[in-house]
Amino acid sequence: MIAALVSFVSRLTKRERVAFYGALIVVSFLLLDRLMLRPILTKIEDLDKEIAEDEVSIRKALGIVDREEELLERSGMYAPYLKKPGSDEEEKLALMEHIQGLASKSSVAVEEIRAELKLAEEEGENAALEKYVVSLRCEGEMQELVSFFYDIEESKERLLKIKNFSMVLKGKDSSAITCTMEISRHIIL
């Protein structure tokens, strides 16, 4: 094969030989480009794109790390609203104790208190919530009850809300009022 190629080149004129060698060099460069350089350059481009994407994600992560204290502080604000490990009974007991504490702070006498867990999705609310409902019967003067209502509604650490209530005078000559109410608390699961 090589002998045939040498004999072919030896029969060419000087001008044809220059053109042949020139064509051979061009074809060699094209083969080198297609077989070696192009795959290497494509791989380098892909790696550059990957590096750029990683740089963006690292910058975002650094932004989060830079704001770590702020984020921890904010998450601490919402911690009371998140579900804590423990049983539902413990949560009900803690909620009833909190409400009784608010009642005693307002000088309202709690006669009966009962708590139950209702799933929020059963009542058409967000499925990521649990809802504790406390039924309460209490007694006190109007000013004390208003103070108790205010303390319940402004209880920031528990997200308490009075759902409904009714008040009745205890007696004809008495200024004491008996109140029944439902208080709800939502917890994010």
SS3 annotation, 49-97? HHHHHHHHHHHHHHHHHHCHHHHHHHHHHHHHHECCCCCHHHHHHHHHH
Pairing type for strands 177-188 and 109-119 reads unpaired
The predicted pLDDT at position 61 comes to 85
Can you give the residue ranges of every domain in the chain?
2-65, 81-188
Q: 0.85 cut: is pTM over it?
A: no
- Per-residue pLDDT, 54: 92
For residue 144, name the pLDDT band (cuts at 50, 70, 90). very high
Specify the DSSP element, H or E, that contains 99: helix 88-105
- DSSP assignment of 12-60 equals S-HHHHHHHHHHHHHHHHHHHIIIIIHHHHHHHHHHHHHHHHHHHHHHH
Tokens of 61: 């992560």
Question: Residue 144: helix, strand or coil by DSSP?
Answer: helix
CATH of domain 81-188: 3.30.70.60
Instruction: State pLDDT tens for residues 2-48.
Output: 888 788 878 888 898 888 889 889 998 888 888 888 888 899 999 99
The per-residue pLDDT for range 95-133, each reduced to its tens digit, is 899 999 999 999 999 999 998 887 655 555 555 667 788
pLDDT at 51: 94
